[in-house]
Structure 1
Amino acid sequence: MAEEEEEFTEVDIGCSWTLTGALIFAMIIFYFVNWPDDDIKRYTWSIINTTLSIFVAVMSFQGCEEVLMEFVIHPILGAFPTGSAAIARVLCGFGVFLGWLAVAHLVIAWFAGLVCNSEDASKLMERKWVVADAMRGDHGEEVPVANVVQGHHSKGIASVKGVEVFVSSRAVLHEGYERRTKCWAMLFAHMAGFAMISAGGDLQHWDPFMSSPAYSWLAVVICALFLLLIFSFTARCLYQEGGEFAEARKLYKEEGKDAEDDIFCLAVSFLCVQSLRFTFSGSLPSKLGFYHSVETEARQATALYVSAVAMVVVMVVTALFLRGECVNARLKSLIVGTASMGFAWCVLFGTRAFFDSWSFLEEKKITPATIEGRVLLAMAASLFSCAVIVVLDKIEDGLQDSDGEQLHKLLKNIITGLSILIGFTWEHTFDGCVEAMSSLWSDKLLGKLTMTLTIVVIVVPAWRRFILAKVVDLQKMQHEKKGAQAKIQDGYAQPMSEGSSSEEESTARLMC
């Protein structure tokens, strides 16, 4: 008797496509993180790093905001406030943002060592020998000086349990402060950025500003000026160098300014694209960027892709051709960062609109309204970013000698923009998964918060200890490589000065 053919449901087919796609996607990422080219490897790790930060920050902020709305804002002002209650809702949004900004600065100061610092400042920059072999389980662990059998400057060989391993001399305590500060600065900066997006969205959806696209753009200008005013205050009152804990103050200033720049670029770029979509369609999207009508989404896909190209043009022109005498350096950085993230938002919403209007996906019931469709959109965005990484590497290899520093900053902003694109597509996917699973709970909010907390507790330690640490190491390796190349060029350009060491020159050549 012939074996009966198994019948598969739509859920079975959807799970099969998802698992197969996930396997292929994971292997592609594996290829990229082990690529022979150091630049591609660094770009890939940077995107993974920023993507995870955005993913965790979005889920954490949304959980906190839902609790705030459920138990504070809605009971006091109502779910759909009007009149003076609507004004109070807008002011509450900006107040919540200021609260998140204050928390971000406090966290950065704490991990930088400015708050309750019990460490001896003289030991902060003390260098110690550590294992420098990423394939070993004890990578980064301290090695006693007596075990170092051959060492010169920052690199050497040591005997560990009878085996010779590569070691490097590093300021372990300072690097620990730096890594922890960078981790929590990124996370809380993104959460503050989403708080500003929420506040700006409340302003854009207030009746006077949602009456026309022009007034919606005015709301964007108000938010940008508000942020610049706040940041000028923090620059004047909080960022001081020198004195006691000089290294901690320097680290706090560096990470604090980077956090503020991320907040500005993230919030203003999203609000700009919201107003841009309002201009194209005549209808303002929701605070999260969605339309209730699929037809409204579909009409603006092409316009959003054209806008994405325009954002790239603004970014390149500002970064490479707008010199310091024309605009303040930090303002220039904010323009480039905002344009790069604006590019990501345009591609994200344009692709979502394209997928919504694609009849093939609609027939197969895998539009972005479904979990399978969200996974497909996230994978498409991720693969697009992988292709862009290869193109960026070719551009950097061809142009790095002409304007290396400006090009490096530009590429860094593009990487951040790609991270926004990937981070939000995957966050939207997992948010749908969390909502689907929480629907099984009697208290859906409690279920969603529980699963969100579980994801955060699992992801954050792994991200900080392994992925962020990898990115920091790769960036330092690139810095050392550039320094070695500069020494070689100086050596070719001029004769070696008296007393200079030929050993240092050979070391520089070796590092390259």
Structure 2
Amino acid sequence: QGSAREPGGTCPADPPRHPAPHPQGLRTTSMRAQAIRALRVLVALALAAPAVAEEAEVSQANLGIAVMLLGSVGFMMGLFYLVNLEDHQLRKYSWQVISSTISIFSAVLLFQAVNGIAEEVFLGEDAPAVLRLGVSVVHMLVWFLFLQLALAHISGAIGAPPKGEEQLEQMELQLKCWAVLLGHITGFAAINAFSTFQQQVPRHWWATLFVAPLAWAVIFALGKITDAFRTHVALADDGEIDEAERAWHEETEETENDVIGLAVSFTIVQMLRFAISGELPNVEGEESEEAESSHSDLATFGLLVAGVAFAILEGIRIVFIKMQFKRFTPQLRNVVAMSFAWCLFFSSQWFLSAHFFRDTTGMTKALVLALFVTAVALGMIIILQKAEELDETDEDIDEVLRAIVLGLGILIGFAWERCFDVAVASITARVHFVSPATSKLGMA
């Protein structure tokens, strides 16, 4: 902007002026461009995310269906093989396992469905613990009473007795069928009642251990009361116990022993899992996904060894303590057999969850667990059958081996019920015109 003039007295022409870009304007333009680019990236991710999620969901569904197809076909082929073996004893065990599996499968589903309806009617979301315990105990007593009355009616002790050899044989078959099924339902009702109580005791392993002998004492006392009732009914008509009444008495006693075996063994194994892992599972024996997949191999091995120890100690007792008790001895045998079976099931669950299903839950995991437990249990049944054929084993040892076989059958049924439970929950969650409990009851 100087005032000097060029020679000749004229001023130089001013050059055209172009203002320099302002720094603030450059920053604004740059930020706008970055924002547009970021928006484009977000839109692209938003459009791609559903496709990725859908692809992952479809892949997971395909995996579940594939495992279900191969597993179910393989399972059925294995059953056909077992029930057509040349060995008569193995064929017999195979049919016993199938019977126990179907019974426990149906029993758990029916109990859970009825229990779900009872909780909907009598309990809310925030029902106090004492009320939950009361409802579970009453539910157990209702099933226990229904068991007694149903078997009394089927046997003819209450109502028309069977006439003739054919009716007597038909009655015995019906009595055995319903005794097993109702006994398993009552057993899971007892598990629910005493596991609910176990959740409310102080969180120490010795406090949770106290629940097992309490359950044994309570169910044993109920059995003594019903024993006196059965004797009174049998002698009330003619002063004698006929063949039908004797069958009613024997089947009911055996069923009550099964109830004790289920309830006491489950509470014992709940205590063992709590002592090993430091976390008490819920009423149904379930843990959180994080806890289930965090168990070490040492903890898994410890739980399995505890189950094997039950069977070994029972064998030692039989060898060195020859004293027999009419009710206590078969009850102890059932408790030992079922404790071994529960330990085998939950240690298998811990192992598979820790090594193969850390990030996978749901149907695929439950199905693989059921197939794994089935394969292990069937292999053990073959080994136990061979052990029973040895000349070195006496009748008492053979009784324990047979009880373990029946326990393994219950184990297989429970594993498949867990698998089916996941499937039922997935279906009933999408049924909106009836409650999930009612849907489950209908499917059961």
Give distance in 2, aligned partners of 1:334 and 1:314. Answer: 15
Matched with 1:322 is: 321
1:427 is matched with: 417
Partner AA of 1:385 in structure 2:
A
Contact 1:340 1:417 in 2 (8 A): yes
Aligned counterpart, 2:17: none
Higher relative contact order (CA 8 A, sep 6+): 2
Please list, as runs of the form range in 1=range in 2, the aligned pairs for 1:282-293 lying within 5 A after superposition.
Answer: 282-293=278-289
CA deviations 1:377-432 (Å, max 9, x no partner) are 111111112211221221122137x52x3244222211121012101110000011
Looking at structure 2, the residues matched to 329 and 357 of structure 1 have their Cα atoms a distance apart, in angstroms, of 43
- Give the match's secondary structure for 1:223: helix
Deviation sequence 1:345-374 (CA, Å, 0-9, x none): 11111111111101x4446x3xxx321121
Aligned equivalents of 1:316 and 1:443: distance in 2?
54
Cα pair distance change 1:47/1:118, threshold 3 Å: closer
Where does residue 301 of structure 1 map in the other structure? Answer: 300
Query: Are 1:352 and 2:349 matched, yes or no?
Result: yes
Deviation at 1:9, TM superposition (A): 3.1
2:161/2:244 contact within 8 Å kept: no
2:187 to 182, 188, 193: 193
1:63 counterpart residue number: 113
- Counterpart for residue 213 of structure 1: 205
Partner Cα separation in structure 2 for residue 292 and residue 80 of structure 1: 22
CA contact (8 A) 1:294 1:356 kept: no
The equivalent residue for 2:18 is none
The number of aligned residues is 381
Range that drifts further, 384-393 or 96-105: 384-393
Of 335, 339, 345, which residue of structure 2 is paired with 1:338?
335
Q: Kindly indicate whether residue 147 of structure 2 is the aligned counterpart of residue 104 of structure 1.
A: yes
Using the TM superposition, name which of 388-397 and 436-445 deviates more: 436-445
Select the residue among 168, 172, 177 that pairs with 1:178. 172
How much has 1:444 moved relative to structure 2?
6.0
Instruction: Return the alpha-carbon distance in structure 1 between the equivalents of residues 172 and 433 of structure 2.
Output: 41
Once residues 55 and 186 of structure 1 are traced to their aligned partners in structure 2, the CA distance between those partners, rounded to angstroms, is: 12
Tell me the residue number matched to 1:91. 134
Matched residues in 1 for 2:440 and 2:270: separation? 30
Paired residue type of 1:428: R
Alignment CA distance shift 1:9-1:291 (3 Å): closer
Q: Retained in 1: the 8 A contact 2:155–2:161? A: no
**Mapped contact 2:367–2:416 kept (Cα < 8 A):** yes
CA distance in 1, matches of 2:318, 2:226: 25
Separation (CA, whole Å) in 2 of partners of 1:32 and 1:320: 32
Of 293-302 and 223-232, more deviation after overlay is shown by 293-302
> How many Å apart are 1:437 and its aligned residue?
1.0
Greater strand share, structure number: 1
TM-score of the pair, normalised by structure 1: 0.70
For 1:50, the equivalent position in structure 2 comes to 100
CA separation in 2, counterparts of 1:356 and 1:47? 26
Q: Structure 1's 87 and 320: CA in aligned 2 closer, same or farther, altered over 3 A?
A: same
Counterpart AA for 1:173: Q
Q: 1:18, 1:375 within 8 Å by CA — same for their partners in 2?
A: yes
How many angstroms apart in 1 are the aligned matches of 2:118 and 2:441? Answer: 16
| Alpha-carbon separation, structure 1, partners of 2:347 and 2:202 | 22
Q: Any conservation in 2 of the 1:319–1:332 contact (CA below 8 Å)?
A: no
1:269 paired to 2:228 = no
Residue in structure 2 matched with residue 204 of structure 1 by the alignment: 198
Structure 1: how far apart are the matches of 2:318 and 2:290? Answer: 37
- Percentage of matched positions with identical amino acids: 28
| Distance (Å, rounded) in 2 between the aligned partners of 1:398 and 1:217 | 36
Partner of 1:453: 442
Q: Structure 2: how far apart are the matches of 1:119 and 1:176?
A: 9
Q: Over the residues paired in the alignment, what is the CA RMSD in angstroms?
A: 2.1
State the alpha-carbon separation in 2 of the partners of residues 322 and 330 from structure 1: 16
Tell me, yes or no, if the aligned pair for 1:210 and 1:284 is still in contact at 8 Å: no
- In structure 2, relative to structure 1, the CA distance for the partners of 1:351 and 1:279 (3 Å cut) is same
For structure 1, the 5+ residue unaligned runs are 1-6, 126-171, 457-512
Q: Which residue of the partner structure matches residue 253 of structure 1?
A: 249
Match for residue 86 of structure 2? Answer: 36
Give the equivalent residue in structure 1 for 2:370: 378
User: How far apart are residue 187 of structure 1 and its match?
Assistant: 1.0
TM-score by length of structure 2 reads 0.81
The separation in 2 between residues aligned to 1:245 and 1:232, in whole angstroms, is 18
Question: How far apart are the structure 1 equivalents of 2:86 and 2:400?
Answer: 23
- Higher deviation after alignment, 419-428 or 58-67: 419-428
CA distance in 2, matches of 1:25, 1:399: 33
Deviations 1:104-146 (A, max 9, x none): 00011111111221644xx2x3xxxxxxxxxxxxxxxxxxxxx
What letter is aligned with 2:216? Answer: A
Deviation at 1:10, TM superposition (A): 3.4
What is the letter of the counterpart of residue 288 of structure 1? Answer: E
